[in-house]
Chain A
Amino acid sequence: MNQALTVNDLTVRYGNGCSYCRDISNPLDKNRCPHCKSVWAVRNISFELYPSEILGIVGESGSGKTTLLRSLYFDIPATSGAAYLSGYSDGLVDIMGVSSQQKRIIRNSLLGMVYQNPTQGLLMDYSSSGNVAQKLIAAGSRNVGSMQDRANELLEHMQIPLGRVKEPPKQFSGGMQQRVQISKAIANNPPVLLLDEVTTGLDLSVQAKVLDLIRSVQKKLNIAIIIVSHDLAVIRMLSDRTIVMLDGGIVEHGLTDQIMEDPQHWFTQTLVHSLI
């Protein structure tokens, strides 16, 4: 298997669904079933992520981008579908179907996640070093000295002053908190990194700094990244390929330049034109 991650027909549904909305060919009212009112936050999404690639997922608010990412990180249980991670059992086992204990192992060793809201990804009362160490401890490290060294190395790379690594993230600015989150996410050199709206809420100069750091991390570690954003500028700057989501489904996907220069779907055209 060449892909770092393969996702097949992933679905996240709130509600029981009915015979109408379970038939993929039937249209929904936005992402809501007109009959049973079930919400299809993510509906039969399939894609592949290749090693060392940055895949952008773009779409309007409520299109299911974050839900997709969080279901891949097992924060939200997927209703159906499969995902295969090359680092887990050579990509032969559906990671959505493994036990919760195995899912934790995958989360701790093979995936990294940076949330839009740092309070979801960080322990705000623990030191920044402790936050990074948590990921290392979860992966089995039991040596304080080596964990401190690793945390310092990562935080320094993320431009957190070494003199502040013992401070809790609650004392940091939003941009610094995001950088601590990135340090934590890559602590175990995961093959796949998931980034959810990492620059939202940050001012332009801090956004640029965070994006530069993401790019440098990707080059240094050679990891595959999925970045979710509603900001096309971020996607254009970072991603090699782009998926456009609308109402829980994929409406267009392709090379980022192709999507930006020659959008085919009316929604993508609206997005691109509104950017320009």
Chain B
Amino acid sequence: MDESYNFAFLDEGSKREIRRAIIKAISLPGYQVPFGSRELPIGRGWGTGGLQVTLSIIGPEDTLKVIDQGSDDSVNAISIKKFISLTTGVGITEDSEEATLIQSRHRIPEIPLTDSQVLVLQVPTPEPLRGVERSLGAARQLHADKEYSSAWLMLYEQIMRYGRITLGADYPVLVDGRYVMAPSPIPRYDTLKLHNAECLYLFGAGREKMIYAVPPYTSVEPLDFEDYEFDIEDMGDRTCRLCGATGVYFDEMFDPQTGERHYQCSDTGFCSKNAQRGHTHEPGINSK
């Protein structure tokens, strides 16, 4: 740990202000709480929201895992891990079960998280109505009035055009029967993991200066219609080429030389642990 920095880089006043926003966000599940997004030694859009949340709640006893689209080894994940490790000295792990604090971009780990864990998601666009309401002020009024017809209309329009709902990620959800929330660009496959989860989910948007949360055991329902219900991606009979897992979320790999397509677990930490165990399948929340 580099002693020339304050613990977790941010000054204590900043961390306290962000924690206050987090407490408010937990008190109002799905509600976007504005906060004074700080400058960090990484650019906006590279996970500064999630990073500020992580830096504000991390303690010396925590064990941290950082994943980027499921991968522990991407440049962004490694840079964030190095930065947090340098300024806090906390332990780093790739094991989702071992971590007490997980920062993630675009994925929720395959293993169901427990009530002793916190998952921090980096959010590029926190406003779920952004696509249908240009004015953020008007969007906030729509939230206040619980007027979400435009969010449903967006889905209706997709059914009209394509015969089905085509949203692949960032699927809007109704949290605790009150606020419609953008769950960050996690795939549809991960959306159901938010519902009545044991862990605390925190969402940080640094560029948009918003924090929101899904507390443990909170109802999270994807928006859908009576005759077009929400469904997740069908992984079919695909198996991971590395660990042999089935029924998990896969990355598709294309070999241009042979023209073959392979699949491997998107969650690399889960995949390597699964391979070590010699298991071929570890049931996650969406695995049947």
B167 within 8 Å of A (CB atoms): no
Within 8 A of B (CB), among A123-180: 123, 126-127, 129-130, 133-134, 137-138, 142-145, 147-148, 166
In whole angstroms, how far apart are the Cα atoms of A147 and B157 in the complex? 12
A2 close to B (CB within 8 Å): no
Q: Which residues of A contact B263 (CB under 8 A)?
A: none
Contact between chains at B147 and A144 (CB < 8 Å):
no
Known: A127-B157, A133-B153, A144-B159. A138 touches B226 (CB 8 A): no
Q: In the bound complex, do residue B157 and residue A130 qualify as a contact, i.e. CB atoms below 8 Å apart? A: yes
Asked if B226 and A166 make an inter-chain contact with CB atoms under 8 angstroms apart, the answer reads no
Residues of A within 8 A of B146 (CB): 101
Chain A at the B interface: SS class: helix
Does A100 lie at the interface of the complex (its beta carbon under 8 Å from any beta carbon of B)? Answer: yes
A104: chain B residues within 8 A (beta carbon): 145, 147
Partner of B156, one of A100, A108, A147: A147
Per-residue CB proximity of B108-120 to A under 8 Å, as 1/0? Answer: 0000000000000
Does chain A have a CB within 8 A of B228? Answer: yes
Which chain A residues in 98-119 approach chain B with CB under 8 Å? 100-101, 104, 108
B: interface residue count bin: 10 to 19
Check: B254 CB closer than 8 A to any chain A CB.
Answer: no
Are A143 and B149 in contact, with the CB atoms below 8 A?
no
Within 8 A of A (CB), among B144-164: 144-147, 149-150, 152-153, 156-157, 159-161
Contacts of B228 in A (CB 8 A): 144
Q: Which residues of A contact B141 (CB under 8 A)?
A: 100
Which of B144, B150, B161 meets A134, CB within 8 Å?
A: B150
Does B227 sit at the interface, judged by CB under 8 A?
Answer: yes
User: Looking across the interface, which residue of chain B has its beta carbon closest to that of A99?
Assistant: B145
**Complex: A197 Cα to B141 Cα, angstroms:** 28
* Secondary structure dominating the interface of B: helix
- Give the shortest distance, in Å, between A212 (CB) and chain B (any CB): 29
Q: Are B227 and A130 in contact (CB under 8 A)?
A: no
In the complex, are the beta carbons of A129 and B160 less than 8 A apart? yes
Q: Are A137 and B153 in contact (CB under 8 A)?
A: yes
Return chain B residues, CB-CB under 8 Å to A142: 152, 225-226
Q: Is there an interface contact between A127 and B226, defined as CB atoms closer than 8 Å?
A: no
In angstroms, Cα B228 to Cα A209, docked, is 37
1/0 per residue, CB under 8 A from B, across A74-101: the answer is 0000000000000000000000000011
Residue from B144, B152, B161, B225 within 8 A of A166 (CB atoms): B161
Asked if A130 and B156 make an inter-chain contact with CB atoms under 8 angstroms apart, the answer reads yes
Q: Contact partner of B160 among A108, A127, A137, CB < 8 A? A: A127
Find out whether the CB atom of B227 lies under 8 angstroms from the CB atom of A145. Answer: yes
B residues in contact with A138, CB < 8 Å: 147, 149
Give the nearest-CB partner of A129 in chain B: B160
Q: How far apart are B140's CB and chain A's nearest CB, in angstroms?
A: 12
28 A-B contacts, Cβ less than 8 Å apart? A100-B141, A100-B145, A101-B144, A101-B145, A101-B146, A104-B147, A108-B149, A123-B153, A126-B157, A127-B157, A127-B161, A130-B157, A133-B153, A134-B149, A134-B150, A137-B152, A137-B156, A138-B147, A138-B149, A142-B152, A142-B225, A143-B225, A144-B226, A144-B228, A145-B227, A147-B156, A166-B160, A166-B161
A interface residues with partner B (beta carbon < 8 Å): 100-101, 104, 108, 123, 126-127, 129-130, 133-134, 137-138, 142-145, 147-148, 166
Which 3 pairs show the lowest CB-CB distances between chains A and B? A138-B149, A137-B149, A101-B145
